[in-house]
Chain A
Amino acid sequence: MKVRHSDRNAEKVQLQMTPMIDIVFQLLVFFIMTFKIVSPEGDFNIRMPIGAPSEGLPDDELQIPPIKVRLTATGTGHLAEIRMGEKPLGRNFKALNQEVRQIVGGGAGPSIQDAAEVEIDADYGLQFEYVMNAITAVSGHVEGDRVVSLVEKIKFAPPRAGP
């Protein structure tokens, strides 16, 4: 039997929006709750092969001895003094950066810059943030928006005895 469709009396089919809106809002709440602003992180490369030369000996073809940076700690783990070689620099990491710039930066040429190496010798109990400050100071500095690299080869001296 033929069924006649009459457009005149056809009613609009209304979609049920409520479940979709419910789900959409749940998704929105999930993403808002799990959203977390993470500040960017960066790495400082340290290459320490097992057969690395012992303390104080140069390990490159240019035979430049490593720049020794000594960091001493107070009893509470704070920084007591910075020494570059035998030169005391107080607790000023900017002074350390200036010293490294004088050796590596000031027209020394890219070959010296590539060959230069810094050896960080820190007290066992020194807080790590001071070591990171020293690594930052010898690695380079910021001029405006530009990063000027200094020393890229950084290594640690053999660890000092613990407490």
Chain B
Amino acid sequence: MPKQKQRVRTRSGFAEGDMTPMIDMTFQLIAFFMVLINFTEADQNERIRLPISELAQPPDEPLTDAITLQLTQEGTILLGGEEFSVEQLPVPLRRERQVLEATPGKSVARATIVIRADMRAKAGRVQEVILECQKTGFERFALRAKQAERRPG
């Protein structure tokens, strides 16, 4: 007579469901979210709505010594969690410059200023920010845009 599968019964007599598939699935979900979580959002701010460009592509390799300046619609600049006006900008920029100069192998001329400007910010403000950075010695700039969906054809 073939053996019949017996349900595992506890002392109280209740049948116990097999938890293994559920735990497997849950761990897989956790692994999925862990892999996709993006901690680089520290450089981003919800106040900034980037302009959209179909040519904007994520860089193949990270920019050298990137310093991210975020220009709001109101014309203020966010840098390292603090908010500055264009007139106040030289102070934190000089600080960044000192840090770069104190670090071996880094220089102001090689550093890249990444400008994440709001799409409604004034173009003149962006130029003023670039001008202030130039006065501090920065030469390389990158204007950031959000990648647009490409339509074929």
Contacts and interface: CB of A to CB of B under 8 A. Distances in A.
A48 B134 contact: yes
Contact of B143 (A44, A125, A142): A44
B16 to A, nearest CB: 9
Interface string B1-35: 00000000000000000010001001101100110
Given A139-B55, A159-B131, A124 B122 contact: yes
A162 interface: yes
A99 interface: no
A103 interface: no
B19 A17 contact: yes
B53 A126 contact: no
A45 B140 contact: yes
Interface size class, chain A? 35 or more
A87 B37 CA distance: 49
Contacts, number: 164
B102 interface: no
B124 A159 contact: yes
Interface string A82-119: 00000000000000000000000000000000000000
A95 to B, nearest CB: 17
A127 B73 CA distance: 9
18 contacts: A20-B23, A44-B55, A44-B142, A44-B143, A46-B141, A46-B142, A47-B140, A48-B130, A48-B139, A50-B139, A122-B127, A125-B124, A128-B51, A136-B145, A144-B153, A145-B150, A160-B124, A162-B124
Interface of A: 17, 20-21, 24-25, 27-28, 31-32, 34-36, 38-50, 71, 73, 77, 122-133, 135-136, 139-142, 144-145, 147, 156, 159-160, 162
Interface of B: 19, 23, 26-27, 29-30, 33-34, 36-38, 41, 44, 50-59, 63, 71, 114, 117-124, 126-128, 130-131, 134-135, 137, 139-147, 150, 152-153
